Amino acid sequence: MLHGNRLWTSKMEKHTRATAMNLNRDQTSLFRLAVQRATDGIIWTNSDGQIVYANQSACDLLNQNELELVSQSIAEVGIRLVNHSTNPTWMQLHEQLKKSNGQPVEYNLSQTNGETLSIDLSASFAQLDGDEFCSIFVRNISRQKQSEADLKQQNEDYKIIFDAVPAMIWYKDTSNKMLRVNKTAATAMGKDALELEGRNTRDFYPNAEDYYKDDLEVIRSNTPKLGIVEPMVDQFGSKAWVQTDKIPHRNEKGDVNGVIVIARDITAQKEAEEALKSTANELEQFAYIASHDLQEPLRMITSYIELLQLESEDNPESKTAEYMKYILDGAFRMRKMIRDLLQYAKIGRVPESWEDVDCYQVVLDVEKNLNVSIKSSEAFIEKDDLPVIRGTHTALVQLFQNLIENAIKYRSEAKPWIRILCRKGMGEWLFSVEDNGIGIPEHHLKKIFNLFQRASRHDNEGSGIGLAIAKKIVDGMKGRIWVNSEPGKGSIFCFTIPIKEKT
Residue 76 vs residues 51, 125, 374, 481: alpha-carbon distances, Å: 10, 20, 109, 86
Do the Cβ atoms of 71 and 86 come closer than 8 Å? no
Q: Does residue 224 share a domain with residue 178?
A: yes
**What is the structure's pLDDT at 364?**
93
Q: Does residue 419 share a domain with residue 314?
A: no
Q: Does residue 461 share a domain with residue 404?
A: yes
Can you give the CATH number for the domain in which 297 is found? 1.10.287
Residue 161 vs residues 165, 168, 187, 407: alpha-carbon distances, Å: 6, 13, 16, 57
Residue 221 vs residues 207, 245, 258, 480: alpha-carbon distances, Å: 22, 15, 12, 34
pLDDT score of 166 more than 70: yes
E strands along 276-408, which residues? 355-358, 380-383, 388-391
Q: Is the pTM of this model over 0.85?
A: no
Residues near 450 by Cβ (< 8 Å), separated by ≥ 6?
Answer: 468
Q: Does residue 125 share a domain with residue 31?
A: no
pLDDT digits (tens, 9 = 90+) for 123-165: 888 887 777 888 889 888 888 888 988 888 988 888 888 888 8
Query: Last residue of a domain, which of 265, 284, 300?
Result: 265
pLDDT digits (tens, 9 = 90+) for 431-441: 999 999 988 88
Domain span at 338: 268-346
CA-CA distance, 36 to 58, in Å (whole number)? 9
Query: Last residue of a domain, which of 265, 289, 310?
Result: 265
Neighbours of 58 (CB within 10 A): 23
Do the Cβ atoms of 383 and 421 come closer than 8 Å? no
pLDDT score of 312 more than 70: no
Q: Does residue 460 share a domain with residue 371?
A: yes
- SS3 state at 322: helix
Q: Side chain identity at 70, as an amino acid letter? A: V
Can you give the CATH number for the domain in which 387 is found? 3.30.565.10
Query: Last residue of a domain, which of 245, 265, 285?
Result: 265
Give the chain's domain count.
5
- Order across the sheet with 116-128: list the strands: 51-54, 41-45, 131-140, 116-128, 105-110, 79-81
pLDDT more than 70, % of the chain: 76
**What is the structure's pLDDT at 84?**
63
CA-CA distance, 118 to 345, in Å (whole number)? 80
CA 132 to the chain's CA centroid: 67
CA-CA distance, 67 to 59, in Å (whole number)? 10
pLDDT digits (tens, 9 = 90+) for 402-430: 899 989 988 888 999 999 999 998 889 99
Neighbours of 391 (CB within 10 A): 23
**What is the structure's pLDDT at 9?**
43
In degrees, rounded to 5, the angle at the alpha carbon of residue 359 between the alpha carbons of residues 498 and 396 is: 70
Q: Does residue 282 share a domain with residue 238?
A: no
